[in-house]
Structure 1
Amino acid sequence: MVNEPTHAPLLSIVVPVYGVEAYLYQCLESIRADIPAGESDAVELIAVDDASPDGCGAMLRAYAGRDGVRVVHLSSNVGLGLARNAGLDVATGRYVWFVDSDDWLPPGSIAAVLDRLRQHQPDVLMLDHLRVHEDGRREVDASSHLLRGVPGVVRLADQPHLLRVQHTAWNKVVRRAFLDELELRFFPGWYEDIPFSHPLLIGAEKISVLDRVCYLYRQGRQGAITSTRSGRHFDAFGQYERLMDWVARKHPDERLQAELFELMISHYLVVVGNDDRLHPHLRRAFFHRVAEHYRRYLPAGGYPAPAGVTGLKHRLVGRGDWLAYSALRQAHRVAGRLRRPGPTASPDGGAGTDEDPNRAHPTTTRDAEPTATTDRSDALAGGRLP
């Protein structure tokens, strides 16, 4: 049962919930406490119980009916993307913001978001965030600098670097009618943000950037993708196929396709290179799927090649040379261990330059790949790959 609001708010905040009993209270209270005085009518909070197996369902039943809080209980687990869709189905706000239930908002975030929405009335409002580790350490994201100095309301063509900001749903507040215009929904499976986040920026006529930390992104939670070896990492291929199909139909621009192609291959290389993602017996098959996508989607005019070791890996993928890639990966990791006196594992569970902050539980994912360049090697110069 869903409690219906008496009027349409400006902002709907959708929180999908699964297996986060230890974090749910912090998340929901950070939202409720942050709604400014006199703005309760402007914000609705929709929590979606994705058949959570722990105490989350009971916690949400206690919240149901409170001012501004609506709760949807799903009868079976559907995963993060489809749970977001369920929240979107009942959202009545002009804008929607997807907040994940193990993260939380710093004070003043909602007031800043509401102010910017009223001021610019954008299709998409982009937000900054911090990564918060289990020991309390807060870390700036590698792509946050791309949000600096963006004036007023822009289009992606004016600020193409915005495509390299974290491609997640939670760092964007989206006009609901714009979502309907693009016919965008979340697909099932892991890496669900790929065919959702990029089209938002590509299709938007009005993008606003709020250069303010409005989201705290929890790191190191048990069940992270970076520590989950699974064949479900192959879901990334289907998600990118959906993205590339959408771009080919809606925005067949060679420069855009080249940019997305580079991001896609770099993302795949993060996954295939991470010991905590793929069991060794799956790595070769994953690499050959990457090579297949390389051949299928390679732009006719080439694409901007990354520098350093990442660029070399791109070339090996282009040749489908698994043996050379495997040897390079091993040599690069040995060299990294020799350079670093401490353990090679990162705080987020990755290893070496293959780390990223993805996380998941067995039925839903938190997809947040690093899209800024993280490979600092100076072995090779950049260029355009044929």
Structure 2
Amino acid sequence: MDVLLTVVVPVYAVEGYLHQCLDSIRAGLTPAENASVEVLAVDDASPDSCPAMLDDYADQHGGDLRVLHLTSNVGLGLARNAGLAEARGRYIWFVDSDDVLPAGSVRAVLARLRETEPDVLLIDHLRMHEDGRLQTDQSSSLLDGPPDRNRLIAVQHTAWNRIMRREFLDKHELRFPAGWYEDVPFSNPVLIAAERLDVLNRVCYHYRIGRSGAITATRSQRHFEAFTQWDRCYAWLDSADVDPALRIRVFTLMISHLLVVAGNESRVHPSHRREFFREIAALYRRHRPAGYLPPAGAAGIKHRLVAADSYPMYAALRAGYRVAGLRRRGTQRTPVVSRDIPSPPQRVKTTSIP
């Protein structure tokens, strides 16, 4: 049978999560649906037991898993590229090996791909905490309504929330660069270049946050690589015929994204925050498009401080927000919840599956 979907799973140092991820991909599929999917795990020279776990899983599950062992560690982006080069499916879905697909996700994706045959299919997700708590992402509401690129560009720019036609990626030569924040110069061009863009407004992915060892929970100078990745994104934008209004949207999102990184204690050490802010200001000057106006509210104030390269004012504003937040939390009473009263259900969007 024709392989409709290849799920590429890069694997590195996730032995505590790997089986849960792999099991979730094929859970509940009929034999015909299962035959339409291949799972390709890319062992990125993982230093733990993951390589052996992958081989054992492949032995136990027959042809349900192909394993590609890389001889040296190349990083997440290049490992995804290696999987893409070996994929046989008409569509590609990059799934991180510490994340989970909720029941029915692959079935829903297969049905929608057959129905609309898009270049890119966007899906919704929930943020999954280490204690199992699920949380809606702020950008999820943007998936409501007909596909609108100017609105959807603000959806979280990750590889795993978009399923892409392999011929489309080849036509536009879209691949991941090396380094951290490799999603930036890949996921944004993917969304902009798509001629046939579709949305499956259903939670099809649980994105694990706060895991020890994850990039987003690691203090490192490598977070400065985000600036190189945004420069790469703009090199692509400069080479493409991109609507000016869309360029303004991308610029606004870029500055907001980098400010989030700058203010995250788990990523940028306080001693490096001034330098990081200066780099944001330099990027602002390099790429500010004609007609750009800062957003409203507190975000707009921060954007204006970046434009003025005013780190002291930014630091004072950030300190004020932190103090106000601590005061609010200190005055809030913790509600007592009876064990006999069930917690409200998590929001999970559903779509009728033929």
Q: TM-score, normalised by structure 2?
A: 0.90
Cα contact 1:132–1:218 (8 A) shared by 2: yes
- The within-5 A match list for 1:313-328 is 313-328=302-317
Aligned to 1:372: none
Aligned to 2:212: 222
- Offset at 1:228? 1.4
- The within-5 A match list for 1:206-355 is 206-303=196-293, 305-341=294-330
Paired residue type of 1:52: S
- Rounded to whole Å, the distance in 2 between the matches of 1:229 and 1:155 is 36
Moved over 4 A (4+): none
Question: Match for 1:132 among 128, 134, 156?
Answer: 128
- Offset at 1:342? 8.1
- Rounded to whole Å, the distance in 2 between the matches of 1:14 and 1:342 is 47
Cα contact 2:123–2:203 (8 A) shared by 1: yes
Q: Which runs of 5+ in 1 are unaligned?
A: 1-6, 344-386
- SS of residue matched to 1:129: strand
- Rounded to whole Å, the distance in 2 between the matches of 1:342 and 1:335 is 11
Higher share of residues assigned helix? 2
Aligned to 2:154: 164
CA deviations 1:322-381 (Å, max 9, x no partner) are: 1111111112211221122289xxxxxxxxxxxxxxxxxxxxxxxxxxxxxxxxxxxxxx
Paired residue type of 1:137: R
Cα contact 1:155–1:205 (8 A) shared by 2: no
- Pair 1:47 & 2:41 matched: yes
- Offset at 1:226? 4.1
- SS of residue matched to 1:93: coil
Cα contact 1:47–1:71 (8 A) shared by 2: yes
Q: Which runs of 5+ in 2 are unaligned?
A: 333-354
- Offset at 1:75? 0.8
- Pair 1:203 & 2:197 matched: no
Paired residue type of 1:321: S
- Rounded to whole Å, the distance in 1 between the matches of 2:90 and 2:39 is 13
**Closer/same/farther in 2, CA of residues 238 and 294 from structure 1, 3 Å limit:** same
Cα contact 2:93–2:160 (8 A) shared by 1: yes
- SS of residue matched to 2:153: helix
- The within-5 A match list for 1:350-369 is none
- SS of residue matched to 2:326: helix
Cα contact 1:35–1:43 (8 A) shared by 2: no
CA deviations 1:221-250 (Å, max 9, x no partner) are: 112334311100001001100111101111
Seq. identity, %: 58
Cα contact 1:34–1:110 (8 A) shared by 2: no
CA deviations 1:34-70 (Å, max 9, x no partner) are: 4333223211100001111111000111133522311
- Rounded to whole Å, the distance in 2 between the matches of 1:311 and 1:202 is 25
Question: Match for 2:77 among 59, 78, 81?
Answer: 81
Aligned to 1:31: 25
Q: TM-score, normalised by structure 1?
A: 0.82
- Rounded to whole Å, the distance in 2 between the matches of 1:112 and 1:68 is 19
Paired residue type of 1:317: V
- Rounded to whole Å, the distance in 1 between the matches of 2:171 and 2:258 is 30
- Rounded to whole Å, the distance in 1 between the matches of 2:141 and 2:112 is 20
Cα contact 1:194–1:239 (8 A) shared by 2: yes
- The within-5 A match list for 1:47-66 is 47-64=41-58, 66=62
CA deviations 1:83-109 (Å, max 9, x no partner) are: 101110100110000000001111111
- Rounded to whole Å, the distance in 1 between the matches of 2:44 and 2:214 is 18
Query: What is the RMSD of the two structures over their aligned residues, measured on CA atoms?
Result: 1.6
- Rounded to whole Å, the distance in 2 between the matches of 1:90 and 1:64 is 17
- SS of residue matched to 1:178: helix
Paired residue type of 1:67: G
**Closer/same/farther in 2, CA of residues 226 and 9 from structure 1, 3 Å limit:** closer
- Offset at 1:141? 1.1
In the alignment of these two chains, the number of paired residues is 330
Paired residue type of 2:244: E
**Closer/same/farther in 2, CA of residues 155 and 334 from structure 1, 3 Å limit:** closer
- SS of residue matched to 2:267: coil
- Rounded to whole Å, the distance in 1 between the matches of 2:241 and 2:29 is 38
